[in-house]
Structure 1
Amino acid sequence: MKKINSVQLIAILLCSRVFSLMTYFPYNYSNPLIYMTGMAISTILQGLVVLPAVIFCQREYNDNPCTLVSTRNRTLGIIFTLLYLGWFIYASFYTIGDFGYYMDYYFTGNVPRIMSVACLIPAAIYVGQMKIGIIGKTAVYAGAGFLLLTIIVLGGSMKDLHLFNFHLAEENVNSVLWQSIKAEFQRSESLITFAFLMPQYNRSSEKGTEKRSPAKVIWIYLTAKLVLLELIIFFITVIIGDFSAVTKQPFFSLVSYSHTEIIERYDALFLFVWVIITVVKLAVYIYCCTKCISIIYPKATHFASSAVSAVIPAAAALFMLIPYKWEKLVHAGRSAAAIIALTAVLPVIALLFAGKGGFSAGEKTS
């Protein structure tokens, strides 16, 4: 499969955000209601920021900003591509580092962090070399696994649900609200993935469904993401109470707390789903990196591009993981400026180039 359908694209984007949910919460998670309100406001802002990318995708459906600008101005196209490539390597660095850190912190204290990373990288390279349709299918299965995990965990915790844990007291409402908005926006790197992957989205009518435009896809994703996260944060709060504000990993704490008369803990199920989601997220970044490298250096082989795209961020992450310095980065948010630039600013510039006439990359090769 050379392209992905709407369900697969949404699953890829959700896996990116769910990884952040399963891995960590920001430190400013103190008042659940304010945090949930900030998340809703941030999602609206994300919808506004992604508008230029949506407009670009509606008009130039055979191209992303890199390929389109490259057909008009080779030098500027390479600059665009390097910016996206730098971001995907940067995001891969954080993904690998978070995986190595939390694998050691929660599961494998006696296994060197380098071994956890060494197991992750070959799997991610293998999946990242596949066609985007196969990666999309894997993302659908991973997303389904996460939903199943959530349902099972909540089912085993409902007996301990106490609504009075959902307290509303907060002294610095404005400050906490702003920090919540910013924290959620910094977790929206999936918007960049959306802007870059749109040429791989199959817009032809799908069996049993109507054709979905890029606008419909991103609105469905943002709505599904908001509803899912709001529900999870609500249940985390009312089940484990104030402990959710001090633990490094609220969702994992809920998984560890949940139990039934037959199953005492769900750590193994969490680990299984989390590893698959990590592989999917990293594989998507590797796939995007190989696309960038093919624009800059068309002669590069697919395997070499995939290997370089994985090894460079892995080496950088190990530089912080091995001496146990990842604590300095574990709660750091992504750059909001980079998300805005790659999701909104560069697509606008690319649209200006599109207005100059000529053919898109897809049209030139058709």
Structure 2
Amino acid sequence: MPPIFRFATCNPGWESGLKAEMRARHGEAVTPAFLRPGLVTWKVREGEKLELGGPLPVFAHVSGTSLGMAKTLEEVSEIAGRCEATPDRIHVFPRVLPENGFTAEEWESLDARSGEIAAVLRESGLNVDFSPPRHGDPVLDVILGEEGEALFVGWHRHDRFRFPSPGGMPRAILPDDAPSRAWLKMEQGLHYAGLGDPGSLAGKTALELGCAPGGGSFSLLTHGAKVLGVDTGEMDGRVLAFDDGKDAAFSHFAISAGELRIEDLPRRIDLLASDMNLAPPVALRYIERLQRRVRARTLLLTLKINDAKMQAQIPDFLERVRKLTPGEVIATQLPSNRKEITIVSLPERR
């Protein structure tokens, strides 16, 4: 029986963090085998059977079973035949995802490349499409490298812990006039939480800690939320004046999170978001104090991971968040995250 290899993709520069997570999960059952920026594979020790369901490693965007490298599209079809289950979905994405997202032109180019690969697969008899996968669907992953580099081919089964979009990259384009790139982080975080659809927050109230200058708030507003923003920094005028003709509106508490009084908040907070520029132990103290009172059903928290000490404490940070909500708590490093991770509580199963 040929050896089994697993793969995972990540933000470039975080491969060591991903390998450390895999080592902590699986010990000597896996050995690193292949490394490129944003992509790591492991050889599975003979006789070991790794469970691939459940939450992904925090630093992984996609994780599954390696199938091989393809120099031509015809080889992709041949390699796809090695899947344990016949895939009916295909995800095509670059190995290195841009932290500021794709432009409209880059999305168009990627769509064209995806269509070209899918057409060859269909000609070979593999009927794949690009519709969002459902729970349990086998998905063929085709990873694009640099020009002239062979295509990496793998596969995974979709579940509620995974982005339905290729490579874990939601189709969100950072507007040129966005108040800040926090807009993109919020958009990707909302997709990760299953709240990416237009109007997903209509009639909801969101409390955002560390909101200035307003990129994240602007995203929440455009999804229909009433936003209460807490930050001593100056807010972008478009956020302060936002009016969608419905209920979405912004209120600014120009104070620190520690100065915020519970009695000044409405009785119901549906979503608690945070992107404070504080060390995670400090940020979590403020989040804990507020969440124990407001009991928001959904948490969307960005924590700064600036050094190895903070990275080693990620499991502890997740455990603290789990104590704040009855919902399932998962974490990832979004493509737009730099030295940070995003933690989400899921009030309902996706």
What is the TM-score normalised by the length of structure 1?
0.22
Q: Choose between structure 1 and 2 for higher RCO, CA contacts under 8 A separated by at least 6 residues.
A: 1
Query: Normalised by the size of structure 2, how large is the TM-score?
Result: 0.22
> Which structure dedicates a bigger proportion of its chain to strand?
2
